[in-house]
Structure 1
Amino acid sequence: MGFPVGGESLPAGAPVTVAWSHDDDIGVVQARVWLSTDSGGSWALLAQGAFNQSWGWTVPAGAGTHCRVRVQVLDSVGNLTQTESAADFAVGGASPVDGGLPTRTLTLTQNAPNPFNPRTKISFVLPTAGDATLCVYDVDGRLVRTLLSGHQEAGERTVTWDGDDDRGGRVASGLYFCLLRSGDHSIVRKMTLLK
């Protein structure tokens, strides 16, 4: 399971991308995405279709602190594979691990919308106060835009990238990478700008 893996605290109503991978290159006939709000005791079907390794989801309000996502994939030769979150994640500000204290996991959700034009929102969680940076890079690894830099308080944040570089110029259509760094940890997400 690529996301959510467990330990995250996702804001209710936030658009996120459920992501997974499968081992073969045989075409996906059908994928089913399920949600459990009781640590995997029971499951409710969220979506079904020919999704290939990701599905856009709006996090429901009131789902609680013991959520997991499961994905079942059926390929064109009849192989069924399944993956799910390795641990509970929370909806809102509570952590499934510590029963209400802020999450101890650095989290960067997939930007939304993605692809985007002309702007996109990027949500993240900082587990502790400290220096953090949120930057956008192009496919050649060049810094395009610094969205956040310096001392930050712990908690959830959302920033908007308007498709401009640090000099105020519009960037070209294409693939970009959003990098969140806090302490010794970093997370990267791909973003696509279409014009």
Structure 2
Amino acid sequence: WSLRQSLGNALAAHLSHFAKYGTPDDPDDGIAMSEFFLETLVADDDDGNLANGTPHFAQIEAAFDAHGIGTSFYLSIAHTPLADQPASGPRVATAHVTYGGPFGALDPGSPTIHYAIDGEPESQVAMTALGGGDYSASLPQASGTIIRYWLSAADVSGGMRTDPPGAPAWSTHAFLAGAVTQALANDMETDPGWTVGAPGDAATTGVWIRAEPVGSSENGIQIQPELDHTVDPGSLCFVTGNAAPTDPIGTADVDGGATTLLTSVFSAAGLTNPVIEYWRWYTNNGGNDAGTDLCGSTWAPIESTRSTDNSWRRVLVRIADLLPPTATMRVRFVASDVGASSVVEAAVDDFRLLALPVTTGVTPAAAPLALVLDPARPNPFASATSLRYALPRATDVTLTIHDIEGRVVRTLERGPATPGAHVARWDGRDDRGRVVPDGVYYARLIANETRLVRPLVRIR
């Protein structure tokens, strides 16, 4: 669909046909999406050299990257999530960022850490290259806060990868700043008194059980966890069904509707800055959203996701951000699937109720060490897109949009700017207010005698 929008039906159909049947580079004829992207470029190539691009490279790359299967597939971010920190002061986050594609390269200035403190607006810090693919950045923190963060990196074609996957819409990393007091802990090794089932549940398989999970995997990808989250000798968690080790995947996954898991009633009344913590696992290759809700006098959503995150992911939520803390609160976990051919697995472990000290102030993050121009979001775009850039110091900037002939179409920024992050929005119009035609454009940022360029694709 994205290819048809950017290239037209005839050319998109032509390339798709030859990508699937006309490029004998491996036995599977490019059925895997990452290979299908590469083979579409091979079908479009006119000189036998993908390294110098193809006639419609920008449109093809943007169409596939819109679904996370273009050049972004070759990006990798390896990061160990930050542990809780009882003391105030900046935290250093590190990551190993690589690009393994047969053409293209990592944009060395793209690795960025995005963070928010206690639900405040998100800020961004460009990561510093340490050499060998390693990057680092400092995060601010203050006692008594939850810091949520995620990482991003882009390649020179504009493809982007995030850690964790689907961030920030579906998931982020998080840690607690300040010495916590534990009011409740359920590691599932003993029965916590939770309830399975709620009105409207219709799942025929994959109903929540408390058990030692039976791991399952496909093509080296873990579908259901082999181990619970609790450190040894812990072994039990809540999981959406167990099949025999020799059964195929999907034998006991969630099918036919929803299955609900309810915590027992707990009290958050009288706690200073109460926080809920739990660890969850979620795999989804085509089912419905999974959701978690908090109940006091009414239900309020904690999270909803359909993005596969096949690892134990920590979730932290400050109760007062959703509901007034009361003496009668519950949390419910819902996994749902209505497609027999899809695979949905979920697990929950190590549920805790915590109290945090009062916030004492935040150490601001430093400005980036180098000029940054992030990939446009969204890209491709229909009506408008945003360009985020960051400056290491106060300077004059020029941010312009150019067509494929290099002509200036629109000037978005021109003049002095302060250090730190800025966002410019392009509404798809030229300097005279006219809507520009569909096609490929380029955003060019000039500051501190440095020039950065990002491709854009306009489709309607």
Q: Normalised by the size of structure 2, how large is the TM-score?
A: 0.27
Q: Select 1:53's aligned residue among 49, 53, 71.
A: 71
Q: Distance between the aligned counterparts of 1:88 and 1:177, measured in 2?
A: 17
Q: Distance between the aligned counterparts of 2:368 and 2:106, measured in 1?
A: 20
Matches within 5 A, 1:100-139: 100-139=365-404
- TM superposition shift of 1:87: 9.4
Q: Distance between the aligned counterparts of 2:110 and 2:387, measured in 1?
A: 22
Q: Distance between the aligned counterparts of 1:119 and 1:174, measured in 2?
A: 14
Say which structure is richer in helix: 2
How many residue pairs were aligned? 144
Matches within 5 A, 1:17-32: none
SS at the partner of 1:180? strand
Find the counterpart in structure 2 of residue 68 from structure 1.
96
Say which structure is richer in strand: 1
Q: Distance between the aligned counterparts of 1:110 and 1:88, measured in 2?
A: 9
SS at the partner of 2:416? strand
- TM superposition shift of 1:65: 3.0
Unpaired runs of 5+ residues, structure 1, are: 1-25, 32-48, 76-80
Q: What's the % identity of the aligned pairs?
A: 26
- TM superposition shift of 1:147: 0.4
The question of whether the paired residues in 1 share the 8 Å contact of 2:396 and 2:417 is answered with: yes
Q: Match of 1:171, as an amino acid?
A: V
Find the counterpart in structure 1 of residue 405 from structure 2.
140
The question of whether the paired residues in 2 share the 8 Å contact of 1:68 and 1:88 is answered with: no
Q: Distance between the aligned counterparts of 2:72 and 2:425, measured in 1?
A: 22
Greater RCO (Cα-Cα under 8 Å, separation 6 or more): 1
Find the counterpart in structure 2 of residue 9 from structure 1.
none
Confirm whether residue 159 of structure 1 aligns to residue 415 of structure 2.
Answer: no
Closer, same or farther: CA 50–66 of 1 in aligned 2, 3 Å: closer
- TM superposition shift of 1:126: 1.2
Matches within 5 A, 1:30-45: none
SS at the partner of 1:101? coil
Confirm whether residue 91 of structure 1 aligns to residue 113 of structure 2.
Answer: yes
- TM superposition shift of 1:98: 7.1
Larger radius of gyration: 2
- TM superposition shift of 1:105: 1.1
Q: Distance between the aligned counterparts of 1:178 and 1:88, measured in 2?
A: 15
Deviation track 1:46-98 (CA, whole Å, cap 9, x = no partner) reads: xxx9934225x9x9xx876312333455x8xxxxx9x8787994413445467
The question of whether the paired residues in 2 share the 8 Å contact of 1:67 and 1:90 is answered with: no
Q: Distance between the aligned counterparts of 2:374 and 2:390, measured in 1?
A: 9
SS at the partner of 1:157? strand
Find the counterpart in structure 1 of residue 415 from structure 2.
150
The question of whether the paired residues in 1 share the 8 Å contact of 2:385 and 2:426 is answered with: yes
Q: Distance between the aligned counterparts of 2:373 and 2:110, measured in 1?
A: 17
Q: Match of 1:91, as an amino acid?
A: I
Q: Match of 1:67, as an amino acid?
A: A
Confirm whether residue 193 of structure 1 aligns to residue 215 of structure 2.
Answer: no
SS at the partner of 1:54? helix
Matches within 5 A, 1:163-182: 163-182=428-447
Closer, same or farther: CA 131–54 of 1 in aligned 2, 3 Å: same
Q: Match of 2:98, as an amino acid?
A: R
Q: Distance between the aligned counterparts of 1:184 and 1:133, measured in 2?
A: 11
Closer, same or farther: CA 193–67 of 1 in aligned 2, 3 Å: same
